[in-house]
Amino acid sequence: MASNLPNHINTFQESQQNRGRLLISCPDQPGIVSAVSTFLAENNANIIESNQYSTDPSEGTFFMRIEFECPELPTKEDQLKKEFQSIAETFAMEWNIRFVYDIKKTAIFVSKELHCLRELLWEWQNGDLMTDIACVISNHEHAREIVDSFGIPFYHIPASKENRAEVEARQLELLRAYEVDLIVLARYMQILTPDFVAAHPFRIINIHHSFLPAFVGANPHKRAFERGVKLIGATSHYVTNELDEGPIIEQDIMRVDHRDDVKSLKKIGRSIERTVLNRGVKWHLEDRMIVFENKTIVF
């Protein structure tokens, strides 16, 4: 399904048409940076930003993210990928070249609470979230009015344990039709099945309303209140089959005390959730993350 991008995203695509990003992970060894830099120089590419990290310089894993400018890049996509393959084989790399003008398509899933959805829509409208929000899918009607006001397709698909297979089949159909690259669970209060998660590995971002690994699952604010916490937080993470156990992308906290009841904890938590989810989504869209084991390397 086609979508109409806002003018600021079209402008961004045009201005970034010669910019690419190279993400690498491989066994650490001498010569990696030199080989990659030489490859880019030989293709007349100028490095704009370069970040690297090694888990252990002697026998660990090496990670690298490079953003570069290359004249007439859209005509060189296949050539660059083909020529880089030999370097990748030499160093046993897992790698990906991504092109900034190729805007990712995002689907947002939401239930009744709309604060995270609103934040994402505002950031998108302001030009601070460079993505094509292809659609919003919800198991309730609460979000329809605000989504319609942004001109984004809204789909109400009632969901429960009893009709989960039917619901996910419809959701997957929509995701395929819109060619969605990223799914954001903006307080979508349904557990996804292993089949759904397997269809989108490390392309589903969730916001959990606590500072994981504490208070996994439902009602974290009530359990936090009962425990008498002094800090309350939120966590954005990739979704895996283990509930709230996926690789953590971003976290934040605010201080609370004995005067804060469950209601006030929830209110404080919502403020943190908005910013934590937005940052996590933005970093994914900017290709700033590499998943390693059950962690993320964030550049």
**Token couple for 6:** 């806002």
Helix (H) or strand (E) holding 53: strand 46-54
Q: Residues with Cβ < 8 Å from 24, sequence gap 6 or more?
A: 32, 36, 62, 63, 64, 65, 93, 94, 95
Is 244 a residue of the active site? yes
Our CA dihedral for 89, 95, 99, 105, rounded to 10 degrees, sits at: 140
Residues 6 or more apart whose CB falls under 8 angstroms from that of 86 comprise none
Whether residue 271 contacts residue 255, with contact meaning beta carbons closer than 8 Å, is answered with no
What token pair was written down for 140? 């309730």
Half-sphere exposure of 55 (CA within 13 A, CB side): 13
Instruction: Count Cβ atoms below 10 Å from residue 181 Cβ, excluding itself.
Output: 19
Structure tokens at 275: 């910013």
- Reference 30, options 4, 62, 2, 5; nearest CA is 62
Q: Is the dihedral of CA 200, 205, 209, 211 positive or negative?
A: positive
Which alpha helices (H) appear in the chain, and where do they start and end? 7-15, 32-42, 77-90, 115-126, 144-149, 164-177, 194-198, 220-227, 262-285
Q: How is residue 36 written in tokens?
A: 């990659």
Q: Which two tokens stand for residue 215?
A: 């208070």
Catalytic residue among 244, 260, 261, 287: 244
Q: Return the active site residues.
A: 244
